[in-house]
Amino acid sequence: MVSEYRNYINGRFVESAKTFEDLNPANGEPVARVHEADAELVDQAVRAGRAALPAWRRTSAEQRAQYLERIAAVIERRADDFLAAEVADTGKPVSVASRVDIPRGAANFRAFAAMIRMSGGEVYETPTPEGRALNYSLRQPLGVVGIISPWNLPLLLFTWKVAPALACGNVVVAKPSEETPGTATLLAEVMDEVGLPAGVFNLVHGFGPGSAGAAIVDHPDVDGITFTGESKTGATIMRNVADKVRPVSFELGGKNAALVFADADFDKAVAGVARSSFLNTGQVCLCTERVYVERPIFERFVAALAEQARALRPGDPLDPETTLGPLISRQHRDKVLSYYALAREEGATVVTGGGVPTLGGKLDNGCYVEPTIWTGLDQSARCLQEEVFGPVCHVMPFDTEEQAVELANDSRYGLASALWTSNLDRGHRLAAEIDAGLVWLNTWFLRDLRTPFGGMKLSGLGREGGRHSLDFYSELKNVCVQM
Ligand code: NAD
């Protein structure tokens, strides 16, 4: 049955005249009719937020933490509904969404409930001619926060911003990706059920330019924008908010490198790089697309990685045995396949994959591609410099540590890196030298929500996570008292 996904504004589910279709990328079938918010509806959402703000910002951190915990509890209780909506929108295997997306969505609320309870401020005593002054800081909300999120980890990335924003006493106008409106709509139902005051959480559906996304960015009464998505979209948003001088937090694209040294635990490194290249069909911003392997183990490593790629099971996302889902859309598949073609033009050796699998039945209307490994490209090739955002990596040999670091840093992006070595001295030394906001040593995508998260260069602006989220979603006010 096709669902109806409505906007949620001022505590009510709101329809709009214009709708668009939400499709299941595993079989091309419709999932929902989505009510698109235009500038007028976004304006209603912003005004509802503004009206709710004075009372919400006066609630205590403890009260807000309790709301967040109730939200987490309802997500956990309705985990099956969230799982079904996420799998229908993304085609990701239930084995992935049930372990990663849905539990992490709830965990974001629990984590920021704990963090806001524990957060404190700064206090300084300052000597003055009259005696001394006391300076202390107050953490106050930004106000109305605009949240714009992508499709690759829909609930996880949406709640990663909604939870800290609410924890800090902000009201939000939030837009999920047009590709994945399902779990955000369920989250609005959760907000309704826990009795969050009307106007504190507002959900608007739609696209970017000429639609809800641009309307949030252009609205004069939005006090800050937090965005996760492509680097070029981040640049557009930055231009559009520039003359309003508002805080922005950007989590953007990546072209992440893995460095594998000959002394690494071979099997762990192969399994780790395979996971980091192919998890979520390569559609995690942290995924590895560039693998650099120390020459003595290069051939063996490529063969073992290819074996792992071939062992992946594309198929029906609802089948627990499926380990590889489709890409998010036809349009995205066209983009990924254009890189598969470009790699050949640029002279790559296709070690495995490079095409579209035949799965049979309705799945052949889906957006599947084969997991793909390339070798033999120049470092300057477009396939080694541009983000593909699919299940693909290029493997290149290196001879020295210095060369490995140089290759890893030869990118306009700087989001994440993974180092595989048993020499921890080297691991720590190189971690400091890699230009990336996140470095994993002998692991990948292991996250502690208290730690700073974000990218360098084209990969982002600012950090979220732990107190860094609290800092972005707050204005810090200094109060100076002559004693
Ligand atoms: P996207 O930039 O196309 O869209 C992201 C969101 O922005 C969507 O909700 C979209 O509707 C909206 N949008 C698009 N144009 C807009 C505009 N002009 N004004 C306002 N809103 C606009 O990104 P995507 O394709 O949904 O996501 C994939 C990208 O996100 C990849 O590049 C990936 O690396 C990146 N990503 C980064 C992180 C991170 O933490 N750094 C996490 C996940 C994804």
From the CB of 415, is ligand 1 less than 6 Å away?
Answer: yes
Say whether 5 sits in a helix, a strand or coil: strand
Give the model confidence (pLDDT) of 109-127 as tens digits: 999 999 999 999 999 999 9
For a mutational test of ligand 1's pocket, the pick from 38, 108, 183, 285, i.e. the residue with the most ligand atoms closer than 8 A to its C-beta, is 285
From the CB of 252, is ligand 1 less than 6 Å away?
Answer: yes
Burial 138-157 (b: 16+ CB within 10 A, else e): ebebbbbbbbbbbbbbbbbb
Residue 86: per-residue pLDDT:
98
ipTM (interface pTM): 0.97
Give the model confidence (pLDDT) of 37-84 as tens digits: 999 999 999 999 999 999 999 999 999 999 999 999 999 999 999 999
The distance from CA 241 to its chain's CA centroid, rounded to whole angstroms, is: 21
What does residue 210 show for φ and ψ, rounded to 5 degrees?
70, 15
Q: Which atom of ligand 1 is nearest to the CA of 209?
A: 18
Q: Are 259 and 435 in contact (CB under 8 A)?
A: no
DSSP conformation class of 295:
G
Rounded distance from Cα 233 to ligand 1 centre (Å): 6
For a mutational test of ligand 1's pocket, the pick from 38, 104, 204, 230, i.e. the residue with the most ligand atoms closer than 8 A to its C-beta, is 230
Give the model confidence (pLDDT) of 252-308 as tens digits: 999 999 999 999 999 999 999 999 999 999 999 999 999 999 999 999 999 999 999
pTM score, whole prediction: 0.98
Burial (0-12, 13-18, 19+ Cβ within 10 Å), 220: exposed
Residue 1: per-residue pLDDT:
77
Residue 115: per-residue pLDDT:
98
Residue 122: per-residue pLDDT:
94
From the CB of 213, is ligand 1 less than 6 Å away?
Answer: yes
| Residue minimizing CA distance to atom 23 of ligand 1 | 229
Question: In which residue are the tokens 């690759």 written?
Answer: 152
Summary mean pLDDT of the chain: 98
Cα separation, 146 vs 225, whole angstroms: 5
Which segments of 331-371 are extended strands (E)?
Answer: 349-352
Sign of CA dihedral 159, 392, 438, 224: negative
Mean pLDDT calculated for residue range 333-357: 98
Q: E strand or H helix at 324, and its extent?
A: none
Burial (0-12, 13-18, 19+ Cβ within 10 Å), 341: exposed
Give the model confidence (pLDDT) of 394-424 as tens digits: 999 999 999 999 999 999 999 999 999 999 9
Give the model confidence (pLDDT) of 371-391 as tens digits: 999 999 999 999 999 999 999
Residue 334 Cα distances to 92, 283, 339, 368, 389, angstroms? 18, 14, 9, 11, 12
Residue 296: how many other CB atoms lie within 10 Å: 13
Residue 429: how many other CB atoms lie within 10 Å: 13
Rounded distance from Cα 323 to ligand 1 centre (Å): 25
- Write out the catalytic residue numbers: 251, 285
Mean pLDDT calculated for residue range 219-226: 98
pLDDT of 170 strictly over 90: yes
Q: Which atom of ligand 1 is nearest to the CA of 179?
A: 26
From the CB of 164, is ligand 1 less than 6 Å away?
Answer: no
Q: Which atom of ligand 1 is nearest to the CA of 176?
A: 9
pLDDT of 247 strictly over 80: yes
pLDDT of 144 strictly over 90: yes
Rounded distance from Cα 422 to ligand 1 centre (Å): 36
| Residue minimizing CA distance to atom 16 of ligand 1 | 208
Residue 201: per-residue pLDDT:
99
Give the model confidence (pLDDT) of 422-468 as tens digits: 999 999 999 999 999 999 999 999 999 999 999 999 999 999 999 99
| Both tokens assigned to 275 | 């996971």
Q: Beta 12-14 vs 7-9: how paired, if at all?
A: antiparallel
Rounded distance from Cα 340 to ligand 1 centre (Å): 22
Cα separation, 238 vs 244, whole angstroms: 10
The candidate with the shortest Cα–Cα distance to 101, out of 55, 154, 147, is 154
